Amino acid sequence: MPSPIPAVRTIKTYAVTPRPNPDAPRQLEMSAWDVPMLCPHYIQKGLLFAYPPDLSLEQIIQRLRSSLEEALFHFYPLSGRLRVVTCEGGGVTCHVEVGVEGEGAEFVHAVADGIGIADVVAADGQDLPDFLKEFFPLDLALNFDGCTSPLLVIQLTELKDGIFIGCVFNHAIGDGTSFWHFFDAFAEISRCKAVGKEVVLSRPPVHDKWFIGGYGEPPIKLPYSSPEEVVVRFSPPPLRERMFHFSSESLAKLKAKANSECGKGTISTFQALSALMWRCITRARGFPPEQKTSCRLAIQNRARLQPPLSPNYFGNSIYAAPTTTTAGELLNNNLGWAAWKAHEIVSNHTDSAIRDMVHKYMQNPIVYNLHMFDIHSVMMGSSPRFDMYGCDFGWGKALAARSGSANKFDGKVSAYPGWEGGGSVDLEVCLLPEYMSALEGDEEFLAVVSPPIKLEVLLGKSIK
């Protein structure tokens, strides 16, 4: 039975401004990892919950609004705006300005008429519903738009039997690690308020920016004559999007297979899974043997730098590192061969390699845009290590994590932790329709993918 046509209506939008933070500077510089992110979209991720017991809608809204205000006190860059300015003598620079009257984040209350939890989760074999994008404001906004739009918007969408909390977060301010750090703190504050406990964050953010020569270097100058030249907008082609579940047992077998085939014994579970997706998507696309193809892995810099950055470093600190071969070589060799190539790019991502990439960027700074992605490649984004289901607002574990339409293109694969934990993984796969149809019939892929967790199991175990 098809999902009902949604009508997501905005009921009210609230401005949210934190109390003054004496530690917050008026102007925040942006690093060599932040500036390139001006042209991708905002991050759009959110969590689905059963309707909180013993709370009225008004109480939910009030708690979330007051928790957001407190969260912004600690994560103060999100309450500001981007400033992109033309320099005397040419070029443009950018920074974050905090504490301007009339600016701040937003909280949106919306209603999805006729939409329930089952519609959001989607049954096995169904594509993700199109209405998910309506759970997130600032659809397809570029991070550059943070010059005039909020850097953070939270939308609470009422469903007929649950709620969805969507977070729209400017990607020039932080990466996925910072996104989920903020989301978790937002939830932690809500839990404290639920029991009248004083708010003391377990992981306060670290706002000192990292620069190649140390902290506090002058702003990065981009080679544009005006701020408008930075902007390159992107709208994805018609895509099919599906969530695929991989149980911990299935992934253990996949990892063992990859290590056995390559004879190394050092392939991680995620490297094996990335190799599987690269092989199966490349096969589904039907490329000729000579076609070059890459697999890009989003790799953290924080722990790899020497000395390492704090795990609570708030900002971007990530690279999408590629490994490349031809379609023929990828498919004529086995899974272990492809997994070893993925392993090599991770193991080679060292302090010196990171510093070399930053040095090269500083010599020729640019802004990335989504048209730059190679259409013959696969991009493995997000991470199953993000503690998405640990974001407990005081009314139990989320039923599902979902995303909007931002930063999606053919070949984008986003990893989520599986709901049941234990090392299970969910992959959100975005492909052109003909490629998705081919993937759904791929024998190597089907031998690893697992049945999803049933909705009645989610509902039975998520309400406190």
Q: How is residue 221 annotated by DSSP?
A: P
The H-assigned helical ranges of 286-416 are: 327-332, 335-347, 351-363
User: Residues 435, 412: contact at Cβ < 8 Å?
Assistant: no
Q: ∠ CA(101), CA(106), CA(111), 5° rounding?
A: 155
Provide the mean pLDDT of the chain. Answer: 94
- Per residue in 110-146, pLDDT tens? 999 999 999 999 877 799 999 999 999 999 999 999 9
Q: Does the structure show a pLDDT above 90 at 216?
A: no
User: Residues 411, 375: contact at Cβ < 8 Å?
Assistant: yes
> What tokens appear for 290 in the block?
């000579």
- Per residue in 218-262, pLDDT tens? 689 999 999 999 999 998 899 999 999 999 999 999 999 999 999
> What tokens appear for 389 in the block?
């289901």
Grade residue 5 by pLDDT with cuts at 50, 70 and 90.
low
CA–CA dist 301, 176 (Å, integer)? 12
Q: Which of 274, 253, 291, 246 is nearest to 340 (CA)?
A: 274
High-pLDDT (> 90) share of the chain, %: 89
Q: Which of 43-47, 294-298, 363-367 has the lowest mean pLDDT?
A: 363-367
Give me the phi and psi of 139, to 5 degrees please: -60, 125
CA–CA dist 93, 232 (Å, integer)? 17
Task: Map tokens 């300015």 to a residue.
Answer: 85
CA–CA dist 192, 200 (Å, integer)? 9
- Per residue in 300-339, pLDDT tens? 999 999 999 999 999 999 999 999 999 999 999 999 999 9
Grade residue 17 by pLDDT with cuts at 50, 70 and 90.
very high
Strand order in the sheet with 162-169: 8-16, 105-112, 152-158, 162-169, 43-50, 400-403
- Per residue in 57-85, pLDDT tens? 999 999 999 999 999 999 999 999 999 99
Q: Does the structure show a pLDDT above 60 at 43?
A: yes
The pLDDT of residue 7 is 76
Grade residue 264 by pLDDT with cuts at 50, 70 and 90.
confident
Q: Tally the residues of the chain.
A: 464
High-pLDDT (> 70) share of the chain, %: 97
- Per residue in 431-461, pLDDT tens? 999 999 999 999 999 999 999 999 888 888 6
CA–CA dist 156, 163 (Å, integer)? 7
- Per residue in 271-282, pLDDT tens? 999 999 999 999
CA–CA dist 366, 289 (Å, integer)? 33
Beta bridge partners of 246: 425
215: Cβ contacts below 8 Å, ≥ 6 apart: 208, 209
**Cβ neighbour number for residue 98 with a 10 Å cutoff:** 22
Buried/exposed 396-422: b ≥16 CB within 10 Å, e otherwise: ebbbbbbbbbbbbbbbbbbbbbbbeee
Distance (Å) of CA 455 to CA 119, 415, 451, 459: 11, 20, 12, 6
CA–CA dist 313, 329 (Å, integer)? 39
**Taking the alpha carbons of 166, 170, 171, 175 in that order, is the dihedral positive or negative?**
negative
The pLDDT of residue 6 is 54
- Span 94-121, mean pLDDT? 93
- Per residue in 165-186, pLDDT tens? 999 999 999 999 999 999 999 9
Interhelix angle 57-74/176-194, nearest 10 degrees: 130
> What tokens appear for 287 in the block?
């490329």
- Which positions are catalytic? 171, 392
Q: Does the structure show a pLDDT above 90 at 109?
A: yes
CA–CA dist 297, 394 (Å, integer)? 34
CA–CA dist 77, 264 (Å, integer)? 44
> What tokens appear for 113 in the block?
């008429």
Task: Map tokens 């006190």 to a residue.
Answer: 73
Q: Is the peptide bond before 238 cis (omega within 30 degrees of 0)?
A: no
CA–CA dist 179, 351 (Å, integer)? 24
The pLDDT of residue 464 is 45
- Span 184-189, mean pLDDT? 98
Helical (H) or strand (E) element with 454: none
The pLDDT of residue 147 is 96
> What tokens appear for 181 in the block?
């750090």
Q: Annotate 95-143 with three-state secondary structure.
A: EEECCCCCCCEEEEEEEECCCCHHHHHCCCCCCCCHHHHHHCCCCCCEH
The pLDDT of residue 217 is 61
376: Cβ contacts below 8 Å, ≥ 6 apart: 285, 287, 291, 292, 293, 294, 327
